[in-house]
Amino acid sequence: MTPLVSRFEHIELDSSKRIDSLASRYLEIRSEIVGGVENLLSADNPAFTSITGFSPEILIEIIRKNAKPTRIPKEKRKPFNDIYRSDLGELLMVDYFEKECCSDARDRYIIPIKNLWDRELDNSPGRGFDAIGYKSSKGKHTLLLGEAKVSGDLKSPPPVVDQTTDSIYNNHSRSKSDVRYLEQRISNYVKKVGVEHKGILSAVLLSLAMGFHDKYEIVYGCCLVRDNTCYNDTDYGKMKTDEKTFLPGIVHFIIYSFDKTLSEIVELFYDKIETA
């Protein structure tokens, strides 16, 4: 595993090339079936013996259909747009750390549960960390704590980076300074993940609780979504200027900027999901 160092990156996005794939990926995550999938999707499952004509494909299609947002006329969408802004930020962050952050796949993270999938209400964003992930090499485990925000504010950095109560900086600062808070969050996460993920995450939790801090590393992952009318290279805010606050942890901050305004991007994203 490549040694970890803080990273601050900016990537420009072409909406004409990315929105379709983002909408498809969104529906893929929202409709994912996990846990006992082999038995569930078998026509031999005893639970389905009384259902004439059952096939796994029918079940998958039902779940996928219900993963789509309820169709809402454009003039009534405004209250829901904030949800899809938030979802867009989480989606970009998850795909970045799982698929794009390193050229070597062994250095990427595994994010077992996506907030987009594991949510209390379909029309409400998830709560807590926007992403929790991990990777491991030679007995050294790395825990990823992810926070994502979307902002078209012309201020640089926008308030959601380091000024609002639930800003990226404040949320990560709490994780750094309040060990009990972090223990509770990771404990709850360990209870929910599949058995293939429990081992490493449990080892991190145990090391954290017992003070064996040399056994794990923490990466404070950040994702900010902007557009080209408001992006500025100072948008990293205190996550960059106060980077040493998080030592021995590492800060990894990615900023995406679209070629259209965020309001246009959210509308496009919503439309593509509806029609997918």
Q: Quick one: average pLDDT of 55-62? A: 74
Q: Which residue, chain included where needed, has tokens 């800003």?
A: 167
Residues in the chain: 276
Q: Quick one: average pLDDT of 176-185? A: 94
CA-to-CA separations, 199 to 34, 189, 205, in angstroms, rounded: 18, 12, 10
Query: What is the distance between the alpha carbons of residues 180 and 226, in angstroms, rounded to a whole number?
Result: 33
Task: Judge whether residue 15 has pLDDT over 90.
Answer: yes
The string of pLDDT tens digits covering residues 93-109 is 999 999 999 888 888 99
Query: What is the distance between the alpha carbons of residues 258 and 226, in angstroms, rounded to a whole number?
Result: 6
Predicted TM-score of the model (pTM) = 0.87
Task: Judge whether residue 119 has pLDDT over 70.
Answer: no
The string of pLDDT tens digits covering residues 181-212 is 999 999 999 998 888 899 999 999 999 999 99
Q: Which residue, chain included where needed, has tokens 């590393």?
A: 217
pLDDT at site 60 = 73
Helices (H), 114-236: 159-162, 168-177, 179-192, 195-210
Task: Judge whether residue 124 has pLDDT over 80.
Answer: no
* Residue from 230, 90, 242 nearest 169 by CA: 242
Residue 122 CB contacts under 8 Å (≥ 6 apart), including other chains: 69
pLDDT at site 2 = 66
Higher pLDDT, 13 or 116: 13
**E strand or H helix at 83, and its extent?**
helix 78-95
CA distance from start to end of the chain = 38
Q: Could you tell me the maximum CA-CA distance found in the chain, to the nearest angstrom?
A: 63
Of 61-65, 122-126, 130-134, where does the model show the most confidence?
A: 130-134
The string of pLDDT tens digits covering residues 217-262 is 999 999 999 999 999 999 999 999 999 999 999 999 999 999 999 9
Task: Judge whether residue 25 has pLDDT over 70.
Answer: yes
- Number of CB atoms found within 10 A of residue 150's CB: 24
Where does the pLDDT of residue 146 fall: very low under 50, low under 70, confident under 90, or very high at 90 and above? very high
- Number of CB atoms found within 10 A of residue 181's CB: 12
Q: Rg of the chain's alpha carbons, rounded to an integer? A: 20
Query: What is the distance between the alpha carbons of residues 76 and 135, in angstroms, rounded to a whole number?
Result: 42
CB 63 within 8 A of CB 31: yes
